[in-house]
């Protein structure tokens, strides 16, 4: 469902007001005071997070973000605070960033935090958005959409619950029995709850969901509020926090470097073992690649993951570049042109149905497309203004260089096998010597995954890709990345990339003339007349091998300890190797998947709230293929 932003309005007293729900966003006696009295004090904060490794807050309505800002400020001011703070919130009608700026002006004491929040504010697209704040110690996970759908998809154990929203009389969906039930399912043992509402249906709904509640003095002109806790009989296992943060990562490509960086931000020590002399020299070794989403009319799982991955990936790139890391990338924009009039109409229909913000996806006609590219084209198509090209190996190198005190690299070291003994995974050399040992081992070995017997339950196939490299003057057209059955990049250091072939099971390592000709034919189809001036011998070529899965989605998660499953097996019921994880199957979308998938696996290993919906996490689980038939032969049609 497209996101409808909130409309900025105020009532006669100057309190932010929603005309749609005919209710105010916070008490007329003061939003910040209400946040501190009802939600922080009502949940026993800051006392309850003191001395904890992490603390998780779950909120039902983000609104102006005041509850979050008040919580963050209190956490920052507490010298005994938890090591990390997770704040998860749902919002059906989020404000635009510029409207938040006007609203936040009323609380100048929160200005530095409010400025940081807005600087990271995501585009208003459906689904989850994870923001990293306060040097990576504060995780804000926003779900844009209906609260019932959001709570069903959130994968977290909340220590404190902020039950907020417009009044039950104005917005009953926020206070429905399903909401209370889902909150109890997301509550950690001894979780607490607070809300300003003491309505009878709220108290009864919480009781039925197994919360124990009682009235307490309210804020301002409201005489009472409600405090509660999860019934002690509901004993659910709390997430296990790793006792030792040390992992081996096998592979230094897009997958391995991404999860290494995401774990290093959490204080992990990482030993990265790579057979080649440096990072990103295999499938991630191309001169330039494309980072953009893959929309679809039904907004399927691949489309949703790729959209979230593109948004998260570009935010990561911007943060890395701001730190001065040697990452080559530019959000020049990406144009995906239609091959014919019928597809152009279909692309317009996709944009109309998804109704995403224009900075994420829009359509352009042939004239505007030609102007953006700097070359005449016969048709328009999709424009992704905030996307562009990335140099893959520089992304890998930047990830590994981000935390030099945490990440140790072992290049030109080939792994002969892995085994677990004494509670540790051992990465073994050909002579049986241990290259590294750690309680956690992550297989990010690309197409080398089948060499490990433990990876047998996961179908990872090899797809050969040949990319052509063309000499190019700086600022020569195309000035943006252009796709249409292939792709071509802008000039990067005197070269542009065009391609690419995608041949599953083809082992040829040398460049082929036929593939060069096919790449040039793709380029000519994208930009008619472009190849006329190219010298026949001018293009260079690079061959790489991409790991792909039968359903074209990544594999990320714990490695199954069985090779078959009988009904009624589920993902949760299948046994897994203790401490062994996989991250692979990126195919031709490694740049789009890598950073978000790395964050997803890091959160899973840490036992943290997940950054993506449960449905999407399950769709990428390596054990999924044990529960269904193997897929059909892979194709990779960008159109």
Q: Which of 370, 372, 453 is nearest to 419 (CA)?
A: 453
pLDDT of 87 above 50 = yes
| Residue 27: pLDDT band with limits 50, 70, 90 | confident
Segment among 11-20, 67-76, 356-365 with least mean pLDDT: 11-20
> Longest C-alpha distance within the chain, in Å?
82
pLDDT tens-digit readout, 575-623 = 999 999 999 999 999 999 999 999 999 999 999 999 999 999 999 999 9
Q: Which of helix, strand or coil describes residue 279?
A: coil
Average pLDDT over residues 233-245: 85
Residue 29 contacts residue 178 (beta carbons within 8 Å): no
pLDDT tens-digit readout, 152-189 = 999 999 999 999 988 899 999 999 999 999 999 999 99
Backbone angles phi, psi at 467, to 5 degrees: -110, 135
pLDDT tens-digit readout, 15-25 = 888 888 888 88
CATH number, domain containing residue 184: 3.40.50.150
Structural domain harbouring 182:
17-230
CATH number, domain containing residue 259: 3.50.50.60
Which of 523, 541, 559 is the last residue in one of the domains?
Answer: 541
Average pLDDT over residues 277-282: 94
pLDDT tens-digit readout, 442-501 = 999 999 999 999 999 999 999 999 999 999 988 899 999 999 999 999 999 999 999 899
Does 11 reside within a domain? no
Segment among 95-109, 276-290, 533-547, 615-629 with least mean pLDDT: 533-547
Same domain? 455 vs 580: yes
| Number of structural domains found in the chain | 3
- The per-residue pLDDT for 592 is 97
pLDDT tens-digit readout, 506-551 = 999 999 999 999 999 999 999 999 998 776 556 789 999 999 999 9
Does 178 reside within a domain? yes
Helix 254-264 crosses helix 590-606 at what angle (to 10 degrees)? 40
Report d(CA 599, CA 262) in Å as an integer: 6
| Residue 245: pLDDT band with limits 50, 70, 90 | very high
Same domain? 472 vs 536: yes
- The per-residue pLDDT for 637 is 42
| Distances, alpha carbon 24 to alpha carbons 11, 63, 359, 526, 622, in Å | 8, 10, 30, 52, 46
Same domain? 72 vs 26: yes
Same domain? 124 vs 25: yes
| Tokens encoding 578 | 């203790």
| Tokens encoding 193 | 């709850």
Average pLDDT over residues 550-572: 92
For the chain, what is the mean pLDDT? 94
Same domain? 583 vs 637: yes
- The per-residue pLDDT for 629 is 52
Question: Percent of the chain beyond pLDDT 90?
Answer: 87
DSSP lists the bridge partners of residue 383 as 335, 362
Same domain? 336 vs 348: yes
pLDDT of 353 above 90 = yes
Written as one string, the DSSP assignment of 135-146 is TTTEEEEEEES-
In SS3 terms, 297-362 reads as CCCCHHHHHHHHHHHHHHHHHHHHHHCCCCCCEECCCEEEECCCHHHHHHHHHHHHHHCCCCCCCE
**Residue written as tokens 């992490």?**
54
């Amino acid at each position: 469902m497209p996101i409808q932003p909130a409309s900025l309005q105020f009532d006669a007293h100057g309190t932010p007001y929603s005309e749609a729900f005919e209710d105010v966003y916070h008490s007329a006696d003061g939003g910040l005071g209400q946040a501190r009295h009802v939600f922080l004090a009502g949940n026993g904060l800051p006392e309850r997070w003191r001395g904890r490794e992490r603390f998780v807050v779950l909120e039902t309505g983000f609104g102006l973000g005041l509850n979050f800002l008040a919580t963050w400020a209190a956490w920052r001011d507490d010298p005994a605070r938890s090591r990390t703070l997770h704040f998860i919130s749902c919002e059906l009608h989020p404000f635009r960033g510029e409207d938040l700026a006007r609203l936040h002006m009323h609380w100048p004491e929160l200005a530095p935090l409010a400025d940081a929040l807005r600087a990271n504010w995501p585009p208003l697209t459906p689904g989850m958005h994870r923001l990293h704040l306060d040097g990576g110690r504060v995780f804000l996970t926003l779900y844009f959409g209906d609260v019932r759908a959001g709570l069903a998809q959130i994968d977290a154990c909340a220590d404190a619950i902020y039950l907020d929203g417009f009044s039950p009389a104005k917005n009953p969906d926020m206070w429905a029995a399903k909401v209370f039930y889902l909150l109890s399912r997301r509550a950690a043992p001894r979780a607490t709850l607070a809300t300003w509402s003491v309505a009878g249906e709220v108290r009864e709904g919480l009781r039925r969901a197994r919360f124990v509640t009682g009235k307490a003095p309210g804020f301002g002109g409201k005489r009472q509020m409600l405090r509660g806790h999860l019934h002690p009989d509901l004993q659910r296992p709390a997430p296990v926090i790793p006792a030792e943060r040390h992992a081996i990562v096998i592979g230094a490509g897009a997958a391995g470097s991404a999860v290494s960086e995401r774990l290093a931000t959490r204080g992990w020590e990482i030993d990265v073992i790579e057979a080649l002399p440096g990072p990103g020299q295999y499938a991630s070794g191309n001169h330039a690649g494309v980072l953009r989403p893959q929309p679809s009319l039904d907004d399927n799982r691949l489309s949703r993951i790729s959209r979230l991955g593109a948004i998260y990936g570009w935010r990561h790139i911007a943060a890395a570049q701001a730190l001065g890391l040697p990452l080559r990338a530019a959000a020049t924009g990406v144009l995906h042109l239609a091959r014919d009039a019928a597809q152009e109409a279909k692309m317009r229909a996709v944009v109309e149905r998804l109704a995403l913000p224009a900075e994420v996806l829009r359509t352009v006609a042939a004239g505007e497309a030609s102007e953006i590219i700097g070359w005449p084209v016969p048709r328009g198509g999709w424009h992704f203004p905030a996307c562009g090209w990335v140099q893959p190996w520089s992304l890998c190198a930047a990830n590994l260089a981000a935390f030099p005190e945490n990440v140790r690299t072992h290049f030109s070291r080939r792994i002969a096998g892995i085994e677990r003994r004494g509670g540790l995974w051992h990465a073994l050399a050909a002579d049986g010597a241990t290259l590294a040992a750690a309680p956690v081992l992550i297989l990010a070995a690309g197409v080398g995954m089948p060499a490990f017997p433990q990876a047998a339950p996961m179908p990872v196939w090899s797809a050969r890709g040949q990319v052509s490299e063309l000499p190019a003057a700086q600022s020569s057209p195309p000035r943006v990345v252009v796709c249409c059955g292939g792709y071509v990049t802008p000039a990067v250091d005197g070269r542009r990339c065009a391609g690419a072939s995608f041949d599953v099971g083809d082992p040829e390592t040398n460049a082929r003339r036929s593939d060069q000709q096919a790449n040039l034919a793709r380029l000519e189809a994208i930009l008619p007349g472009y190849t006329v001036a190219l010298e026949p011998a001018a293009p260079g070529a690079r061959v790489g091998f991409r790991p792909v899965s039968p359903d074209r989605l990544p594999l990320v998660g714990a490695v199954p300890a069985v090779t078959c499953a009988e009904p009624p097996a589920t993902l949760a019921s299948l046994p897994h190797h203790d401490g062994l994880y996989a991250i692979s199957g990126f195919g031709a979308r490694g740049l789009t998947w890598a950073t978000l998938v790395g964050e997803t696996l890091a959160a899973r290993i840490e036992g943290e709230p997940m950054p993506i919906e449960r449905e999407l996490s399950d769709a990428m689980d390596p054990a999924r293929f044990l529960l269904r038939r193997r897929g059909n032969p892979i194709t990779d049609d960008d159109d």
